[in-house]
């Protein structure tokens, strides 16, 4: 039992009656009150993780800033919580920017990313007073110079030629990456920006991917930045992996930062400001998705089908990400089954070969470590209504994003 509980937010436990409790709330009670599927976020765990990043970074490098990679969970309430804990925010487009502004994030601490920023993205960023725009291509420079009237701080994103061990879909530092500028183009961008009277080149940015479980490649990426000379600001990206399965052993925040900041001390100027962008590793463990079992089908394989699936968790289909699961009131152990969704795809599998104890129709099933990218990529396949987000803390629960209604599915029709 303890193995699966360890994948849930810190403090999760089974109570005397055998019910799984997260943030002081029984998951079965949340399912009864808010329906299923639903994303449950332990607000206390989320805030504690944000403080951990903030404090561990500050302890290693004085002039530094942690900014949340909002793509991992672009929910206004999540952004507000991490901003209240002292973090900034990175956004990849106008839509994420809207959430950051609504959450009250200090615009000076918002960084705009994106490999294909549109005119609208840039105009909204300028109007919002976004502190830094990350230059991903030379067209970014053209678009910005046409629109900026006052000075705008920018960073140049470098391709460091580092390929970490992760899924190809989330690797971004290799030589053929669609993100960033190869060294020759990065140098051209640097020279051009140094001659601009509207764009202020503060420094460099690098990011090598996501769900990376070995800290060494992060240090290699920092070393690559030293070839460009000295700058005032270095944004070292994010990418630290989260623990999804029993076998995953990602570095701790402290271990990750020891490698990252150790490389910065060796290769970067001591007076520079360092920025990091935790995303997945900040929010994954704080999130849980709850479902209700609709049917159990036994045959050549045992299928336990629930009322959600790839409409609320695309990670399995897109990246082959493994998730564990448990029946909420019979925690851990059991027979090996395939936990599948309700969508019309054979690939709609939440977890193949997962152990569930005596699964029955009506059971609440909980999937841990769904705080990253599940809400991000939720969709309406087969007319599914996108789930709510429920914050739990100290036994209290509140909805911060409501469940879509059937009327919402028609709302954009003309």
Q: Point out the catalytic residue in the list 25, 75, 344, 374.
A: 344
* Between residues 150 and 84, the one the model is more confident about: 84
From the options 3.40.50.620, 3.90.950.10, 1.20.1260.10, 2.40.37.10, give the CATH code of 2-35+286-410. Answer: 2.40.37.10
Buried b / exposed e over 375-400, threshold 16 CB at 10 Å, is bbebeebeebbbbbbbbbbeeebeeb
Return the percentage of the chain with pLDDT > 90, whole number: 94
- pLDDT, one tens digit per residue, over 293-305 is 999 999 999 999 9
Kindly give the pairing relationship between strand 302-306 and strand 335-340: parallel
Domain 44-279, CATH:
3.20.20.10
pLDDT at 186 over 90: yes
Strands, DSSP E only, in 213-348?
A: 233-235, 273-276, 287-298, 302-306, 326-327, 335-340
Query: Which tens digit of pLDDT belongs to each residue from 318-375?
Result: 999 999 999 999 999 899 999 999 999 999 999 999 999 999 999 999 999 999 999 9
Residue 1 reports pLDDT greater than 70: no
Is the pLDDT at 390 greater than 80, yes or no?
Answer: yes
- Calculate mean pLDDT across residues 42-60: 98
d(CA 388, CA 87): 25
Domain ranges of the chain: 2-35+286-410, 44-279
> 120 pLDDT band (50/70/90 cuts)?
very high
The pLDDT score that the predictor gives to residue 170 is: 84
How far is it, in rounded angstroms, from Cα 222 to Cα 272? 13
**Average pLDDT, stretch 209-221?**
94
Active site residue 25: no
pLDDT the model gives residue 166: 87
Global confidence as pTM: 0.96
pLDDT at 2 over 80: no
Checking if the pLDDT of 145 tops 80, the result is: yes
Give the integer Cα–Cα distance in Å for 133 and 92.
10
| Under 8 Å between Cβ of 342 and 330 | no
pLDDT at position 172, please? 87
């Amino acid at each position: 039992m303890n193995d699966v509980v360890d994948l849930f937010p810190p403090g999760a436990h089974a109570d005397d009656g055998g019910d799984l409790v997260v943030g002081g709330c029984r998951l079965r009670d949340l399912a009864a009150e808010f329906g299923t599927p639903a994303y449950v976020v332990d607000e206390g765990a989320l805030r504690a993780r944000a403080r951990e990043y903030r404090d561990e970074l500050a302890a290693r490098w004085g002039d530094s800033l942690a900014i949340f990679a909002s793509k991992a969970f672009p929910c206004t309430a999540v952004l507000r919580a991490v901003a209240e804990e002292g973090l900034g925010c990175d956004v990849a487009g106008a839509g994420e920017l809207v959430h950051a502004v609504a959450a009250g994030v200090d615009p000076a601490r918002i960084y705009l990313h994106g490999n294909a920023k549109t005119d609208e993205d840039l105009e909204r960023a300028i109007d919002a007073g976004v502190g830094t725009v990350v230059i991903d291509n030379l067209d970014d420079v053209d678009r910005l110079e046409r629109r900026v009237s006052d000075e705008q701080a920018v960073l140049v994103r470098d391709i460091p030629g580092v390929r970490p061990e992760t899924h190809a879909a989330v690797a971004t530092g290799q030589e053929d990456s669609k993100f960033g500028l190869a060294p020759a183009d990065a140098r051209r961008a640097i020279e051009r920006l140094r001659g601009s009277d509207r764009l202020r080149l503060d420094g460099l940015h690098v990011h090598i991917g996501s769900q990376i479980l070995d800290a060494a490649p992060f240090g290699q990426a920092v070393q690559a930045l030293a070839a460009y000379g000295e700058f005032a600001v270095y944004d070292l990206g994010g990418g630290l992996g989260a623990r999804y399965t029993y076998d995953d052993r990602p570095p701790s925040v402290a271990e990750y930062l020891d490698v990252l900041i150790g490389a910065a001390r060796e290769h970067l100027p001591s007076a520079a400001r360092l920025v990091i962008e935790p995303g997945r590793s900040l929010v994954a463990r704080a999130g849980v998705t709850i479902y209700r079992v609709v049917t159990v089908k036994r045959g050549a394989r045992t299928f336990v089908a629930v009322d959600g699936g790839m409409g609320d968790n695309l990670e399995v289909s897109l990246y082959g990400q493994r998730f564990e699961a448990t029946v909420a009131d019979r925690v851990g152990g059991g027979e090996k089954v395939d936990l599948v969704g309700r969508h019309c795809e054979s690939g709609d599998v939440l977890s193949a070969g997962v152990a569930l104890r005596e699964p029955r129709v009506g059971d609440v099933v909980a999937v841990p470590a769904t705080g990253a990218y599940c809400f991000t990529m939720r969709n309406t396949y087969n007319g599914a209504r996108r789930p709510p987000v429920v914050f739990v803390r100290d036994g209290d629960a509140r909805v911060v994003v409501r469940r879509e209604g059937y009327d919402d599915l028609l709302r954009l029709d003309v």
